[in-house]
Amino acid sequence: MTGFFDGIPSVRYEGPDSDNDYAYRWYDPERMVLGRRMEDHLRFAVAYWHSFCWPGGDPFGGQTFERPWFGDTMDGARMKADVAFEMFDRLGVPFFCFHDRDAAPEGANLAESIRNLNEIGDIFARKMETSRTRLLWGTANLFSHRRYMSGAATNPDPDVFAYAAGQVKAAMDVTQRLGGQNYVLWGGREGYETLLNTDMKRELDQLGRFLSLVVEYKHKIGFDGTILIEPKPQETTKHQYDYDVASVFGFLKAYGLEKEVKVNIEVGHAVLAGHSFEHEVALATALGIFGSVDMNRNDYQSGWDTDQFPMNVQEVALALYYILKAGGFTTGGLNFDAKLRRQSLDASDLILAHVGGMDTCARALLVAAEMVEKGDLSTPLAERYAGWDTEEGQAMLSGKRSLEEIAARVERDGIEPEPVSGRQEVLENRLNRRF
């Protein structure tokens, strides 16, 4: 034991009436919801980078956190792994996620960096023998080092592309060895600042080839997890190629990867793209590419990705409703890609932030499940589109009617459609009654 969490108890479910800060009021892992355990619905994960590596800076100020493991040393990385699993066990979370560079420091060259990562991977493996926490996904940091200032896969230098490929291969190997259920690619600098020095067609082709290489390697090594792309519209480049779910789907279709790759949707990124979180979830499920979620929220009065812990039950409930309607998670889950506020310095803050986020999601799940059971939204929706389920509606959709035949029927039958209310206020009222 490192002593970092001394005096902080393990967190257990005590119910809505509990006044214990170190207790779950809504998150009861064993509670059955729509035929599944709550833990299996939510599949919570702790993000290694923000929880144990983020120094507490913002765009206008530097480090505020002081952690005994900070620094680019292997001793610090080993201590960080100890602290991480102590927190996983206290929270009782089923999963965690990691970036390669946050788990282990970069070496003098790629070979040394891979050795460092493999050593920490071995430590993770040993700790997982006695911990219930498993790996939801791994990824490679292809954005922090200055070599990636012009992108990784989209870089004008093919040597940078090759270096990134080596880094991803190593991260995928460790992810598979640890039983990871997904592998994520976030295009942190896969975009451009100005078209004056950018060949967009060339860069998109490079990105398509890079992703194809990842998929090919997945099958070669027998990795049975899901490959995920995480959309983000801004930060770090002015224009990101993976702007939102729609642009990612168009990219996957263009390179024949829509059956191989799904999306990891982050709440804050959806907001930056001008969408709601539930929009991105609903679109991904409609397109068949929904995979996993980075669960956080943005400050709506700030213009950057603030990565706060989720605290808005209504926002989360609507997104979870669409996830439930689509069948729920398979290999994905809810990863807390969220930061403490830079004034929240104590070890207890790290624990309690996750407790609050997990309770928010658990309470939202119960609301979403009740909406599914009661049909508050689904029944009016089915009624609104019922005309398309008729014989003639299906005939038009299936290609059994030509344009001329459709037009002739309108004239022959004297069809004069009248507008029908969308009943938006009624549906919003029904939603609000759940809170």
Q: What's the per-residue H, E or C state across 190-226?
A: CEECCHHHCCHHHHHHHHHHHHHHHHHHHHHHCCCCE
Q: Is the Cα torsion angle 55, 56, 57, 63 positive or negative in sign?
A: negative
Q: Find, among 134, 38, 120, 54, the residue nearest to 89 by Cα.
A: 134
Helix H or strand E segment including 182: strand 182-185
pLDDT tens-place string over residues 29-44? 999 999 999 999 999 9
Predicted confidence at residue 15, as pLDDT, reads 98
Is 279 among the catalytic positions? Answer: no
Residue 64 near residue 343 (C-beta atoms within 8 A): yes
Predicted confidence at residue 409, as pLDDT, reads 97
Dihedral (C-alpha) 173, 178, 182, 186: value to the nearest 10 degrees? -60
Catalytic residue among 102, 242, 307, 376: 102
Q: What is the DSSP string of 140-157?
A: ---SSSGGGTT-STT-SS
Q: How far is the first Cα of the chain from the last one, in angstroms, to the nearest whole number?
A: 41
Predicted confidence at residue 305, as pLDDT, reads 84
Predicted confidence at residue 242, as pLDDT, reads 96
Residue 121 near residue 82 (C-beta atoms within 8 A): no
Catalytic residue among 28, 41, 50, 99: 99
HSE, CB side, 13 Å, CA atoms: give it for residue 37. 8
Exposure string (b/e) for 273-299, b if CB count within 10 Å is 16 or more?
A: bebebbbbbbbbbebebbbbbbbbbbe
Residues in the chain where the model's pLDDT stays below 50: none
The one-letter amino acid code at 126 reads R
Is 102 among the catalytic positions? Answer: yes
Q: How far apart are CA 63 and CA 57, in angstroms?
A: 5
pLDDT tens-place string over residues 379-394? 999 999 999 999 999 9
**Residue 418 CB coordination number (10 Å):** 4
Predicted confidence at residue 59, as pLDDT, reads 81
Predicted confidence at residue 280, as pLDDT, reads 98
- Both structure tokens of 37: 């355990």
**Residue 234 CB coordination number (10 Å):** 16
